[in-house]
Amino acid sequence: MEKEKQENGRFGLIYPNSAAVDVGSMEMYVSMPNAEGTSTVKVFKAFTEDINGLVQELKQAQVTCCHGGYRSLLDGNI
């Protein structure tokens, strides 16, 4: 890992199929992987319908690990 950091100046990717969720009272900001191999940040409202849409997008993006407020999204425990 140290050699990789020295070569490209960044840390290596540890969890490639992960998403990060920042939960607010009215909306959620979600960073998830995209088809180009980088991250996309999307905004979802905090209503049930929107959360269900978020779950579908995470599954489409093949996210297997979720960090932040809604860790149980992928387990169907909402």
Reported as a single tens digit per residue, the pLDDT across 26-69 is 999 999 888 887 888 999 998 999 989 999 999 998 888 877 76
Residues 4 and 23: their CA atoms lie apart, in Å, by 33
Give the pLDDT of residue 41: 93
- Looking at the predicted structure, is the pLDDT value of residue 73 above 90? no
Q: How confident is the model at residue 1 (pLDDT cuts 50, 70, 90)?
A: very low
Amino acid making up residue 21: V
- Looking at the predicted structure, is the pLDDT value of residue 2 above 60? no
Give the pLDDT of residue 23: 86
Domains (ranges, CATH) in the chain?
16-75 (3.30.420)
Return phi, psi of residue 4, to 5°: -60, -40
